[in-house]
Chain A
Amino acid sequence: MKSLKELEEIRKRTLENINLRKGREGYRIVVGMATCGIAAGARPVLTSIMDEVNKLDLKNVTVAQTGCIGACRFEPMVEVYSPDGEKVTYIKMNPEKAKAMVASHIKDGKVIDDYTMTVIDGKVIDPVSE
Chain B
Amino acid sequence: MKEISLHILDIIQNSISAKAKVIQLTIFESTINNVLIVTIEDNGQGMEEDFLEKVTNPFITTRTTRKVGLGISLLKAAAERCGGSFHIDSQKGIGTKVEAIFQYNHIDRAPLGNMPDTLISIILSLGNDIELIYIHSYNDEAFTLDTREIKEILGYEVLITEREVIKWIRNYIQEGLKKIYGGVGN
Contacts and interface: CB of A to CB of B under 8 A. Distances in A.
Interface of A: 1-2, 4, 6-8, 10-11, 13-15, 17-18, 33-35, 38-39, 43-44, 46-47, 50, 53-54, 62-65, 67-70, 72
B163 A53 contact: yes
Contact of B171 (A2, A44, A46, A53): A2
A76 to B, nearest CB: 12
A50 B155 CA distance: 23
Contacts of A34: 10, 13, 63
Q: How large is the interface on B (under 10, 10 to 19, 20 to 34, 35 or more residues)?
A: 35 or more
A2 B172 contact: yes
A39 B74 CA distance: 11
Given A2-B176, A33-B125, A43-B121, 5 more contacts: A7-B154, A15-B157, A35-B69, A46-B121, A54-B167
Contacts of A72: 66
Contact of A47 (B6, B63, B121, B176): B121
A13 B166 CA distance: 14
Contact of A63 (B6, B149, B163, B176): B163
A13 B164 contact: yes
Interface of B: 1, 6, 9-10, 13, 17, 63, 65-66, 69-71, 74, 114, 117-118, 120-121, 124-125, 149-150, 153-155, 157-158, 161-168, 171-172, 175-176
A13 to B, nearest CB: 6
Contacts of A2: 168, 171-172, 175-176
Contact of A35 (B70, B149, B171): B70
A50 B158 CA distance: 18
Contacts of A62: 161
B162 A39 contact: no
B158 A46 contact: no
Contacts of B10: 34-35, 38
A54 B163 contact: yes
